[in-house]
Structure 1
């Protein structure tokens, strides 16, 4: 049987295509409504799967074309993150057969296709996706800076996350590593080319530049609603990062930043000496920012894609303190009062200090001088 899938988010579209192809369907895909209706006329599918919120021609306009212009009764399954009741009712008034709200499991999608077409498309157990393999509501690009990380990269964890969370893309930035990090990344990516990419920097530029280059690289792809970054040692748990994304989805914040605040019910561990220095540095940072952030330096942040230009267009002053500069740039762009309303600091449930940190105690002392440099630069800019 023939299925046409139309969605402007490539990560979602490719996941649907792969799954349905494995199940024996003849499938065609289109990344916008105009291409979709052209394929509809040529391909004459037995089922159309369509997203609602697409630039240009929306999913409902595609449905109107099928039902009103072509007067066809081809089954239509809407697969969308749009939860507006009026939109859903409009869809059914136009004659859609089913409406699935993202996030949704691949297995549920297949079950609904089976019901609509009256077929059983799960011929053998090997094609049954893990129960938690989900098509996400939004597409998220995560930059993971790597410098000499061959011993600490948890390939299994990264691959598992990319496989289960369809809508996330992991971009590893190799920051001029002198060990076998690049080879480890290439092995990690094998078999996950749609959801994992590598951006290779020939020379080491520091974490700030690695993150900046990775974000600028991902921002060229319009499918990403949100962009963020995460440390390669996974000191921040993927579950916590996903919760940062959920907060961003359900709010008017522009940035959601993880915070390693020790409290009851949270597993936050740091070296004792490092903890004392961190507190001292955080007090200085709060003074410079004029905003009450508890932990600017946590390596887990997510932001809306329109923040790329004001934050990442210009190089950062320092190799490590770019997190502070992000907030300084937000403050300069929006003004202090509005910036405070647009940034959310969300406590993490889990954060574990990983052995082999690139930041030494000597570096921590240098940070105080660099903070003075940042304060002077952004005050005079």
Structure 2
């Protein structure tokens, strides 16, 4: 039994291909509608799975070609994040056999495929896919690392990319002097399509590490959103995914985590650090002249189109690049517009991790760096 899968997002396509092959199907893939049609003519599949929103030839264009030009009755399943009722109805009018809305689990995809074309004689029934989800959008996450060999939770990262198939994690080794690079390369083994390592030979500070990682991921055409997250996972992956979901269902261009203490949230900080953070935030608000509660939370996600604007030039500080991001956006878009582009979303969980690279001395120096930012972006 042969299946042709067509999707412009390779993270989704490769995960789907792997699962279908495990089930015993013969699979060919295409990352564009044009390539999909060419393969269809020679491969003669028993089933076509196609995404709708592809550049160039759309999924519905592919369906039209198969039904009208090829005059084929080959079963077609659309798998897409597009929930426009008219497009879905148009698909069925053209003769599709099923419509799956992303996010969708690989288990559900497998069940629908088996219902339409049956189960192969030789199937790997031992292969499991419970909990694995094909996301609506593809997301790149930069994780800066400096001497993190003792704090990196390899299993947590592996489990996340296993279950969330639209994510790509890019670890940036910021000139570590310990075995961080070796730990990252080991973490990448077996997950090369979902995890990458960007190595900076010299330590440039967190701001430069994030900047390099963001510019690197922005070159990947399949990614819709790009963000960054601290290596110690003080921000829970579930919270980060919630930031992404807000991006998916809104017109915001940046969704930033906020470590606000409130009922129902598990937010812990050291007392001294909490007082210093509150003081620094007051200064930052006076500089930005925008009502942010927590610019320095290390969890943010943004539309890829913003990356070049805010990350192309080097930051003037090593730690306060978040403030500089907002200052650059304010300078480009104006204060009124930029406030409608940014959402500050409270986290449900945030735990201060031991071994923080930011010392009390650094906290004092931050005040001087904020003055430098205020003058530079005036």
TM-score by length of 2: 0.99
Aligned Cα root-mean-square deviation (Å): 1.0
Instruction: Give the secondary-structure state (helix, strand or coil) at the position aligned to 2:5.
Output: strand
Question: 2:358 matched to 1:351?
Answer: no
How far the C-alpha of 1:126 sits from its partner, in A, is 2.2
Q: 2:81–2:102: 8 Å Cα contact kept in structure 1?
A: yes
Residues 49-101 of structure 1: per-residue CA shift (max 9 Å, x gap):
10000000000000000000010001101110101000000000000000000
Q: Report the CA distance between 1:121 and its aligned residue.
A: 7.7
The Cα offsets for residues 114-149 of structure 1, whole Å up to 9 and x where unpaired, read as: 01103268945421212x110000000000000000
1:108 aligns with 2:94: no
Separation in structure 1 between the aligned mates of residue 177 and residue 209 of structure 2, nearest angstrom: 15
Deviation of residue 23 (structure 1)?
A: 1.6
For 1:251 and 1:362, locate their aligned partners in 2 and report how far apart those are by CA, in whole Å.
Answer: 40
Query: Structure 1 residue 277 and structure 2 residue 276: aligned?
Result: yes
The answer to whether structure 1 residue 189 and structure 2 residue 188 are counterparts is: yes
| In 2: Cα distance, 1:122 partner to 1:339 partner | 56
Whole-angstrom distance in 2 between the partners of 1:22 and 1:194: 18
Report what 2:330 is aligned to: 331
Matches within 5 A, 1:246-261: 246-261=245-260
Say whether the 8 Å CA contact 1:110–1:121 is kept in structure 2.
no
Query: What corresponds to 1:342 in structure 2?
Result: 341
- The Cα offsets for residues 213-272 of structure 1, whole Å up to 9 and x where unpaired, read as 001000001111000000000000000000000011111100000000011111100111
2:39 alignment partner in structure 1: 39
SS at match of 1:357: coil
Give yes or no for contact 2:23–2:125 (8 Å, CA) kept in 1: no
2:231 equivalent to 1:232: yes
How far, CA to CA, are the matches of 1:378 and 1:338 in structure 2? 18
- Find the aligned partners of 1:32 and 1:23 in 2 and give their Cα distance: 24
- In structure 2, C-alpha distance between the alignment counterparts of 1:192 and 1:208, rounded to whole Å: 26
For residues 152-175 of structure 1, the C-alpha deviation after alignment (integer angstroms, 9 at most, x for no partner) is 000000000000000000000001
- Written as runs of structure 1 = structure 2, the 5 A alignment for 1:283-298 is 283-298=282-297
Q: For 1:118-157, list aligned pairs within 5 A.
A: 118-119=118-119, 123-130=123-130, 132-157=131-156
> 1:204, CA displacement in angstroms?
0.6
Q: What stretches of structure 2 of length at least 5 have no aligned partner?
A: none
Q: Structure 1: how far apart are the matches of 2:121 and 2:149?
A: 41
**1:101 & 1:228 partners in 2: Cα distance?**
24
Alpha-carbon displacement from aligned partner over 1:186-227 (angstroms, at most 9, x marks no partner): 111111111111111111111001001001000001111000
Match of residue 21 from structure 1: 21
Residue 263 of structure 1 is matched in structure 2 by 262
Q: Which runs of 4+ in 1 moved over 6 A?
A: none
Secondary structure of 1:138 counterpart: coil
Distance in structure 1 (CA, Å) of the matches to 2:181 and 2:286: 40
The answer for unaligned runs of 5 or more in structure 1 is: none
Q: C-alpha distance in 1, partners of 2:304/2:199? A: 22
Would you say 1:88 and 2:88 are equivalent positions?
A: yes
Instruction: Tell me, in whole angstroms, the C-alpha distance in 2 between the residues paired with 1:211 and 1:124.
Output: 41
- The Cα of 1:21 is off from its aligned counterpart by 1.3
Alignment of 1:152-163 (within 5 A): 152-163=151-162
The residue that corresponds to 1:304 in the other structure is 303
Other-structure match for 2:30: 30
